[in-house]
Amino acid sequence: EARVLHLLGQVCGSLHEAHSAGLIHRDIKPGNLFLCERGGVPDTVKVLDFGLVGRASGTHGKAPAEAELPDTSRFLGTPLYMAPETIRQHGFGDARTDIYAVGAVGYMLLTGEPVFDGEDHTVIWQKHLTAAPVPPSMRATRNLSPEVERLILACLAKDPAERPQSVAELAAVLLAC
């Protein structure tokens, strides 16, 4: 658990730089987080693949509310880590969109399983829109602290207003855990 918190804190630091410039990553996932050793220090995270980066849709703008799946041929991102608001409206997003993905990565790191899975992208997207995640403690092979579980589930809130509102806020809570 401590290692996961350490890694996610570094992801938040990298995202803070991007968000400060008005950019969102839009594809935070394990495959875009490179663990390396830097100056003899292990577990240094490099956030890679800013190929889908985009301008924030507006600082804390209202997320689209409809629960229907739009035309999926234009999606950017990886279904296992996509925030509901990005599924509802292609291209929509702000810092909280990346925070959802950080929570999904944390969930995967803590449990070894994605938050939601399914036989195809549409099933996974529908679960991100409507299903409640199984609490990580019910899937993890090790005990998880209630604080960490609450934080991961807060990151995975369907409503962006219920998530941590910035990566700086998320990093502070990670550090407190």
Indicate which residues carry an active-site annotation: 27
Query: Alpha helix locations (H) across the chain?
Result: 2-20, 84-88, 95-111, 121-130, 146-155, 167-176
Smallest CA-to-CA distance from 85 within 71, 74, 100 is with 100
Q: Per DSSP, what are the bridge partners of residue 35?
A: 45
35: enclosing H helix or E strand: strand 33-38
CA distance 143 to 26: 31
Q: Are 60 and 22 in contact (CB under 8 A)?
A: no
